Amino acid sequence: MDPLLSEFDSFVRTRTPALLRSAYLLTGDQHLAEDLVQSALARTHRSWGRLHDSGNAEAYTRKIMYHLQVSWWRRRRVAEAMPGDLPESRGGDSGPDHAQQITLRLTLRAALARLSTKQRAVLVLRFFEDRSEVEAAEMLGVTVGTVKSQTSKALTKLRTVAPELADLYVTEGSAR
Partner 1 sequence: MNQDRLRLDLADLADEVTPVDLRDRALRTSRRLGIQRAVVTSAAALAVLAAATGTALAIRPDGQAPAPAVPSVTSTPPPSEASPPPSAEPSRTASASPSTTTGGGPASVAIGRLFYGPTPTGDDTSAAGYLWSYEPGSPPTRLAKLPRLAAILNAAVSPDGRRVAWVDPDDNLRVADVDGDNPRKLTPGGHRQVERDCWTPVWSPDSRRLTISVVLRPEPAPAWEKGVVELNTGTYTRLAGIKGCHPLWSADGTVLAYADGEGRVAVNRPDGSAEKLIPGVGGSGARSSFDVASISPDGSRLALLLRKPDEPAGDVARELDANAVIDTRTGRQVDLPLGGRTLRQAWFGADGRLVARVNAGDHNVLVLIGADGRKISESREPAALKDLQILQLAD
Does 153 bind partner 1 (CB under 8 A)? Our answer is: no
For the chain, the distance separating the N- and C-terminal CA atoms, rounded to the nearest angstrom, is 55
Answer yes or no whether residue 122 interacts with partner 1 by CB under 8 A. Answer: no
Taking the complex as a whole, how short is the minimal distance between the CB of residue 105 and partner 1, in angstroms?
5
**Which positions from 56 through 115 interact with partner 1, judged by CB under 8 A?**
60, 63-64, 67, 71-78, 80-81, 87, 90, 101, 104-105, 108-109, 112
Q: Per CB under 8 A, does 149 bind partner 1?
A: no
The nearer residue to partner 1, 8 or 145, going by C-beta atoms, is 8
| Residues numbered 22-61 forming contacts with partner 1, rule: CB under 8 A | 22-25, 29-35, 37-39, 41-49, 60
**CB under 8 A, 24+ apart: contacts of 61-67:** 61/15, 61/19, 62/19, 62/22, 62/139, 63/139, 64/39, 64/40, 65/19, 65/22, 65/23, 65/26, 65/36, 65/37, 65/39, 65/40, 66/26, 66/121, 66/125, 66/139, 66/140, 67/140, 67/141
- Would you count residue 14 as binding partner 1 (CB under 8 A)? no
E strands of the chain, at which residues? none
Q: Does 137 bind partner 1 (CB under 8 A)?
A: no
Among 113, 115, 121, 124, the residue binding partner 1 under the rule CB under 8 A is 124
